Amino acid sequence: MDDPVRLTRRTVLAGAAATVAVASLTRETSAASGTRAPSANAVSTAGPFVLPALPYPANALEPQISSRTLGFHHGKHHKAYVDNANALVAGTPLAAKAPEEIVRLAARGEGPADLFDNAAQAWNHSFYWRSMKPKGGGEPTGALLELVQRDFGSTDDLRKQLVQAGASQFGSGWAWLVFDDGKLKVTKTPNAETPLTGAATPLLTVDVWEHAYYLDYQNRRKDYLQAWVERVVDWEFARANLPAAAKGGGK
In angstroms, the CA 154 to CA 160 distance is 10
In angstroms, the CA 251 to CA 248 distance is 6
- According to the 3-state scheme, what is the secondary structure of 57-97? CCCCCCCCCCHHHHHHHHHHHHHHHHHHHHHHHCCCHHHHC
In angstroms, the CA 122 to CA 124 distance is 6
Considering the complex, what minimum distance in angstroms separates the CB of residue 196 from Fe ion?
A: 16
Considering the complex, what minimum distance in angstroms separates the CB of residue 212 from Fe ion?
A: 5
| Nearest residue to Fe ion, scored by beta-carbon proximity | 207
Nearer to Fe ion, 163 or 212 (CB): 212
For 183-209, letters b (16+ CB in 10 Å) and e give ebbbbbbebbbbbbbeebebbbbbbbb
Segment (H or E) for 50: none
Q: State the residues that interact with Fe ion by CB under 5 A.
A: 207, 209, 212
Considering the complex, what minimum distance in angstroms separates the CB of residue 10 from Fe ion?
A: 17
Nearer to Fe ion, 152 or 209 (CB): 209
Considering the complex, what minimum distance in angstroms separates the CB of residue 13 from Fe ion?
A: 23
Nearer to Fe ion, 207 or 216 (CB): 207
What amino acid occupies position 124? N
Nearer to Fe ion, 39 or 92 (CB): 39
What amino acid occupies position 163? V
Nearer to Fe ion, 209 or 228 (CB): 209
Residue spans of beta strands (DSSP E) within the chain: 173-180, 183-190, 201-207
Q: CA distances (Å), 130 to each of 42, 145, 187, 207, 232, in order?
A: 16, 19, 18, 12, 11
Considering the complex, what minimum distance in angstroms separates the CB of residue 189 from Fe ion?
A: 13
Nearer to Fe ion, 49 or 209 (CB): 209
Considering the complex, what minimum distance in angstroms separates the CB of residue 2 from Fe ion?
A: 8
